[in-house]
Structure 1
């Protein structure tokens, strides 16, 4: 298992290297104009608007983040998907309107005017796949001399979105080692594909692979889908509920020489929520909370739960300090196995 994880980590690092080398080559002309309320004028390439911040790539300052509330006017000849708080999505170029703090979306046969405070997301549609990539890498390490305890953590995510869909890959890995106990590993790999619909509805096809020595879990493979809706979506927060069903195959390693493996196949329901809170003052900070409950439909009475939360605090531009907590619970594990595993980690990271 350790070799598999090491190979996966090398693949992730190679992927990041390709992304960093390739992305600048795919950038378009930097002709977009952003005028701030203080009168400053910035020319560059508008990458996106999300969580109350506009990402703008410039020739001399690199990629900068501008708080959306401080923008007076935006102009771009390129096509964007513009999404409002109500879930309305409009496609077109960007131009200032006659009224202050309003924006025009210029489509082929339409002209829509809206107040800037109602706009919560912009996605550049004419950029290539690699140019739309965004993500983060978070690394943690701790050491205690008394028992020679060492712990490494890795949390990384890459995602890309176009006008109707998003692809996301997330890897969370932990390895701990002490002189007085056996080493412990926990690895979670998530791949999901999301299709966005009108009125803030979305559908997600998801795949999850989990390994956890603390729970005697050699591998849990999950395949399925959910339907959800952003109940709240603004430039400061987002709250999403989703429900669906998944197929799960689990392989436990148990301390029984006669039958060392416990393999389970089951159908489970899914009830999930996500809450995100953003603060773009100085310094930038955000909080993300995820909760997913899996009641078994083929083994009545069994319930699994995955919970995780992360607080991220910017140290300086694009680098942050984070604290995260997790809890994995199983109401009916194999005999002798733990019901839940929980922990708190801290680390430093970089986002792009």
Structure 2
């Protein structure tokens, strides 16, 4: 269970059951789960309801009674490597007669969930071909790991890669480390902030402008997910430089998703990158707007 949706798999049904978690009154779970509460507490154990709207969490030799609506996430921890995976795949294609413009977008996300850790891989690619204009190619790759602690704190390590012909970036490699906190986390939305340090290795098509730099990372994310079939997510990353005077970069992502039957969905998103000291003869601001059709992968 996450984002207020409890998914139950049965042997007698072709489709998994999806249940709005804020409608659940009783739970009995015999397998072990990572259990996260709205106050930031976390447990690894089993659940059993002895009365409506309340569960008893058993972890080791200890127990704790909590209200059902205080649970914000359940991760079933099973044996077997592949059973830890969830993910999604997006594909979009736009064709415009004017200038014979064609645009192809592809996005992939995979999550590996264990008892205390969540590992995520994201890949986004855009290719645009148009008469009398140079081809545009953009690739975003992100490897992210989070470990959760008490009181809604988490440790975060991240590695990102960006290649963008519009900004003459052949490859920007950015490993980073940081901490963050969920200021709000419940069964309708979450809002988090974080901070850390990153090291940039930037390679441009003009190798004379290659450079390395240290930056502070300031991040925030706001996700609304329990509003019927609508999901809205906004994230902002800001990178004030420590080694280049006056340099400031920011990455902004916004997505809107509407769920359809059979685990399909439509999704629109915009990603923007701003650099106030870009490579010579390149734009300070670059953005991508895409809309497409997707399908959710569940085990």
Tell me the TM-score normalized by structure 1. Answer: 0.81
Q: C-alpha deviations, 1:233-254, integer Å up to 9, x for none?
A: 1011011101000110101124
Give the aligned partner of residue 327 of structure 1: 272
The range that moved more, 156-165 or 236-245, is: 156-165
State the alpha-carbon separation in 2 of the partners of residues 126 and 89 from structure 1: 18
Q: Partner of 1:206 in structure 2?
A: 158
| Equivalent residue runs for 1:1-352 within 5 Å | 49-61=1-13, 62-98=15-51, 100-254=52-206, 261-279=208-226, 281=228, 284-352=229-297
Q: Which structure 2 segments of 5+ residues have no match?
A: none
Paired with 1:161 and 1:240, the residues of 2 have a C-alpha distance of 20
Tell me how many residue pairs correspond in the alignment.
Answer: 296
**Unpaired stretches in structure 1, ≥5 consecutive residues:** 1-48, 255-259
**C-alpha contact 2:187 2:226 (8 A) present in aligned 1:** no
SS of 2:17's partner is strand
Tell me the CA shift for residue 278 of structure 1.
Answer: 0.7
Task: Report the Cα offset of residue 90 of structure 1.
Answer: 2.1
The Cα of 1:318 is off from its aligned counterpart by 1.0
Alpha-carbon distance in structure 2 between the residues aligned to 1:149 and 1:195: 44
Is the partner of 1:117 in helix, strand or coil? helix
2: CA distance between counterparts of 1:52 and 1:247?
A: 36
SS of equivalent residue, structure 1 residue 73:
coil
Query: Conserved in 1, the CA contact under 8 Å of 2:42 and 2:149?
Result: no
Higher normalized contact order (CA 8 Å, seq sep 6+, divided by chain length): 2
CA–CA separation in structure 1 for the residues paired with 2:96 and 2:222: 34
CA–CA distance in 1 between the matches of 2:55 and 2:33? 13
Contact 1:67 1:280 in 2 (8 A): no
Residue 226 (structure 1) shift: 1.3
Deviations 1:28-67 (A, max 9, x none): xxxxxxxxxxxxxxxxxxxxx1000111111232322111
Distance in 2 of aligned mates of 1:206 and 1:231? 21
Question: 1:343 offset after TM fit, Å?
Answer: 2.7
Deviations 1:107-142 (A, max 9, x none): 331221111111111111234332121111111110
Q: Distance in 2 between matches of 1:261 and 1:159?
A: 38
Query: 3-state SS of the aligned residue for 2:134?
Result: coil
User: Which structure shows the higher strand fraction?
Assistant: 2
Residues 281-330 of structure 1 show CA distances to partners (whole Å, capped at 9, x for unaligned) of 3xx22111110001110002000110011100012131100010111011
- How far off its partner does 1:150 sit? 0.2
Q: Are the counterparts in 1 of residues 78 and 84 from structure 2 also a CA contact under 8 Å?
A: no
